[in-house]
Structure 1
Amino acid sequence: MFSGFGIRAACAVVLAMSLAACGRNGSAQPAAAAAAIPVTTQVVQTTAWNDTLQALGTAKARESVTLTAKVSEIVQEVHFESGQDVSAGERLITLKGDAQQAALVQAQATYLEADQLYRRQKELADQQLVARSALDTQLALRNTAEARVRQMRAEIGDRSVRAPFSGVLGIRQVSPGSLITPTTVIATLDDISRMYVDFQVPEAALASVGIGNTVTATAAAYPGRQFEGTVQTIDARIDPGTRAVTVRAEFPNPDRDLRPGMLMDVRLFRPERQALVIPEIAVVQVGRDLFVYRVKADGSVEQAPVSAGVRREGKVEITQGIAVGERIVVDGTGKLRPGVKVAEAEPRPRNGNGAGKAPQPARQG
């Protein structure tokens, strides 16, 4: 028979074992729950995507010329001011030409005399009173006099510098009374109603560039502003040194904000296509290797090596490594390792006391 002390001891042992078992069973679920790391995931899908090519270019006027004179002469009159808008054919400066004017009057008189003499001899030749050879000689003298008149008019015309096209003039470089030569710069003239920007495109991307492609450009002078244009011309030759081709884009410039010589940051949008695009924060880079965390059917994650294409506005194109329909971790990759289980994180509250704050762990006594 058991003594009273033995019975009490046996009951204490059984009770202790029961309490231990209960403690183990009760803590199993919290431990399992704590093992699942809260993350944000996303199912990979295709979306419309048009990648861009980025390059630097210099703005150029649609038409641009440095105005000079054809002859060396004294400036008689200046008909423009710096920065003035002019029309095609408008006179800009007049050079002195007194000698040419006098020579023109003389040439015109010589021509009139030769022409009258030719007409008289032609009447006599028709009556067979003058030899035909004499009439031919007089015709040659008349034509020579006429050519001299045209020459003098051309020389006088060279003493007026006119705008070859409509545009805006630069800073005036001459004044009345100054002596200019054919190398003297009078002013610059630019048609800036539309602007050209030439930039380089790699040979490998040539097949995806076409006339009419959309182009955007930014300039340091206008922060936050984008200028929109289109591809107008693709050079017929590829530079063998750089293995790139020159592309010319045309930009409307009604406000004349773009000026020749501006450095432009150009982005060329290639034709739209379907691509796998994910948030850029989902891609983890270790050295030169890129990977994403792919969620498996059992809730654990694995590293999936990927190849990335173009990045733009916080998104990146994935060219290989994952497929449509697979679930990947977007936010929370910094606390993951292969094999751990994950769970979809609940959105954090944004209003009320303590909005956006993570719960603080309980202090252990």
Structure 2
Amino acid sequence: MRKAAFLIVAVAVFALMAGAVAVRELLREPEQAFAGGGVQPVEVADVTTATFADTIEAIGTARANEQVTISAQVSEIIGRIAFESGDRVTAGQILVEQAGGEEYAALNEARATEREARQEQERFRDLAERGIAPTQRVQETQAALDRATARVRAVEARLANRIIRAPFDGVVGLRNVSAGELVGPGDIIATLDDVSRIKLDFTVPERFLSVVSAGQVIVARSDAFQGETFDGEITNVDSRVDPVTRAVTVRAEIDNSDGRLLPGMLLTIEVRRDVRERPAIPETAVMRRNEQAFVYVVPTGDNPVIEARNVDLGVRSGAMIEVVSGLQPGERVVSEGTHRLRPGAPVQVTRQWHSTGATAVGTAP
């Protein structure tokens, strides 16, 4: 009996509370009931202008502008190493000198023979001018001088093959040899990379061939540099489509004068197209009714009353979204507190965000 009495009392109290709430709602002003009750505090944001672009996303591998493996042309012992790992070198700079004692001796012999042949040729030419020696003898001494000179050049070329020079400006990689070590053709002494510019090869599906061309801007990102972007430009599009993957290889170049990007790095690439200036608003300002997007516009002045306005939206990036139509730069929209509002509700602006503009991108369809 006590439990039943308690339940009856509880139900009665609940009914009285519900009735009080219903009576209060009936007594409220119609406009206040529609607007959500009194003046609502809101945060607003300016409609700003931002740069938007459709993008094609891909993944590519960084390559040096020029790259080569330093190796010897002949088998010989290393006499001197003129670089250290990581050195920056210029074109023509000596990197390695191989021993060449026998070749130097052969060069001295060849030069001595050349001097004798030149003296002999000059002597017979003088005699021929005075009519003492026959012209045929002059020709024979000239041929002997030419052979001696050719032998000197051949020995000098063999000696030059023992001096390894940098073919272009770049950075030397890790040194793999030591002085006194015997090296031959194919043995890797070091690598040399010109990283002043980075070549970036990546593939895109063939359906994008009509919208990808040389001169387009690309933006690359690397996990090694979180939050940073590297701007580049497409330089070439391959002349063939892979028949297996139905993709085409695209090459872009990125300025790397600071040397931060290294060959072999994996980069995420965005190819930007249809770059345009459009109004932009925070994504939090957008509401949806069925398939239609709308925002609450806050006019300037005292005691503003919000207006619901339909908008057509474009691409989005992060917290910003493109407005194709429905808003103009300089207007204000509610960015926080939209769920408490109804059209025609009076609002009080508690905070206003002034955007300075941004660059946004979206994924290509």
TM-score range, shorter chain: 0.5 to 0.7
Question: Which residue identity lines up with residue 169 of structure 1 in the other structure?
Answer: V
Aligned to 1:217: 220
Query: Is 1:100 equivalent to 2:103 in the alignment?
Result: yes
Q: How far apart, CA to CA, are the structure 2 residues paired with 1:260 and 1:69? A: 23
Aligned to 1:27: 26
SS of the aligned residue for 1:114 comes to helix
Offset, 1:150: 0.5
List per-residue Cα deviations over 1:42-82 (Å, max 9, x = no partner): 99979452315344333333332211111111222222222
List per-residue Cα deviations over 1:241-279 (Å, max 9, x = no partner): 34545242322433x332222222344555753435444
Correspondences of 1:1-365 after superposition (within 5 Å): 27=26, 30=29, 33-36=32-35, 47-51=49-53, 53=55, 54-200=57-203, 202-206=208-212, 210=215, 213=217, 215-224=218-227, 226-231=228-233, 233-241=234-242, 242-244=246-248, 246-254=250-258, 256-268=259-271, 270=273, 272-275=275-278, 277-281=280-284, 291-293=292-294, 309-317=314-322, 323=326, 342-344=343-345, 346=347
Contact 1:58 1:262 in 2 (8 A): yes
Offset, 1:173: 0.5
Contact 1:100 1:155 in 2 (8 A): yes
Contact 1:217 1:267 in 2 (8 A): yes
Which protein has greater RCO, CA pairs closer than 8 Å, 6+ apart?
Answer: 2
Return closer, same or farther for 1:345/1:268 CA change in 2, 3 Å cut-off. Answer: farther
Q: How far apart, CA to CA, are the structure 2 residues paired with 1:229 and 1:24? A: 65
Offset, 1:172: 0.7
Q: Which moved more, 1:121-130 or 1:93-102?
A: 121-130
Question: Which residue identity lines up with residue 140 of structure 2 in the other structure?
Answer: T
Return closer, same or farther for 1:75/1:318 CA change in 2, 3 Å cut-off. Answer: same
List per-residue Cα deviations over 1:184-230 (Å, max 9, x = no partner): 110112233444444456424326x636x4x5433222223x25444
CA-based RMSD of the aligned residues comes to: 4.2
Contact 2:195 2:262 in 1 (8 A): yes
Aligned to 1:17: none
Identity %: 32
TM-score under structure 2 length normalisation? 0.67
Aligned to 1:4: none
Q: How far apart, CA to CA, are the structure 2 residues paired with 1:26 and 1:142? A: 120
Contact 1:93 1:162 in 2 (8 A): yes
Offset, 1:122: 1.4
Contact 1:195 1:251 in 2 (8 A): yes
SS of the aligned residue for 1:342 comes to coil
Q: How far apart, CA to CA, are the structure 2 residues paired with 1:26 and 1:221? A: 59
SS of the aligned residue for 2:212 comes to helix
Q: How far apart, CA to CA, are the structure 2 residues paired with 1:280 and 1:150? A: 75
Return closer, same or farther for 1:274/1:220 CA change in 2, 3 Å cut-off. Answer: closer
Segments of structure 1 that go 5 or more residues without pairing to the other structure are 1-22, 351-365
Q: How far apart, CA to CA, are the structure 2 residues paired with 1:85 and 1:182? A: 24
SS of the aligned residue for 1:153 comes to helix
Return closer, same or farther for 1:114/1:156 CA change in 2, 3 Å cut-off. Answer: same
Offset, 1:323: 4.5
Return closer, same or farther for 1:195/1:302 CA change in 2, 3 Å cut-off. Answer: closer
Contact 1:57 1:198 in 2 (8 A): yes
Contact 2:43 2:349 in 1 (8 A): no
SS of the aligned residue for 1:94 comes to strand
Return closer, same or farther for 1:26/1:222 CA change in 2, 3 Å cut-off. Answer: closer
Q: Which structure would you say has the larger Rg?
A: 1
